[in-house]
Amino acid sequence: MEDQIYNLFLTSEQGWSLFGTLRLRRIEPDTSTGSVRLPARASEALVPVTQELVPVPIEGEISLPLLAAFRQVPLRGIAFATAAGLFSFALDSGNARPSAGIQLFPFGSPDLGGFVIWGSSNYSELVFSVLARQLPRAF
């Protein structure tokens, strides 16, 4: 599986500005159950506007050096896509500490925007708005 790597720029209401990295990869679904189906051909992309969102399982890591001391926090989640492309994705670290929750939406070809909720304990959370730009792939 090839990873997609994003540079992150996070800002908070308290005036913090942080940089980070998000690494994502698609989890291959179990095709025997038939629960996840992606469009296989370009002709399937020509569907009515009422096309439903298709869930795609993803996993990855987020690294925020100033908050996690260069540690990567593992994430699991789901991306929602239509035949036209990515619609949104949401990831969560589960019970890992520090905890992180991310939701991002595409608003340009290489750009994503959304928010990150970062929790270092049961009683503290930081909420960041985030801009993400995908790094070009090396061939």
| pLDDT surpasses 80 at 68 | yes
Tell me the C-alpha distance between 59 and 78, whole Å: 8
Which range, of 18-32, 54-68, 104-118, averages the lowest pLDDT? 18-32
Tell me the C-alpha distance between 75 and 117, whole Å: 13
- The answer to whether the CB of 122 falls within 8 A of the CB of 108 is no
Residues in Cβ contact with 16 at an 8 Å cutoff, skipping those fewer than 6 apart: 10, 126, 128
Tell me the C-alpha distance between 99 and 42, whole Å: 39
- pLDDT, tens only, 34-46: 444 444 554 455 5
Tell me the C-alpha distance between 125 and 67, whole Å: 12
**Per-residue pLDDT, 1:** 56
**Per-residue pLDDT, 36:** 46
Domains and CATH numbers, the chain: 4-26+53-134 (2.40.128.120)
Bridge-based pairing state of the strands 85-92 and 99-106: antiparallel
Instruction: Say which amino acid occupies 138.
Output: A
Tokens representing 7?
């540079």
Tokens representing 41?
């051909």
Nearest to 67 by CA among 90, 91, 98, 92: 98
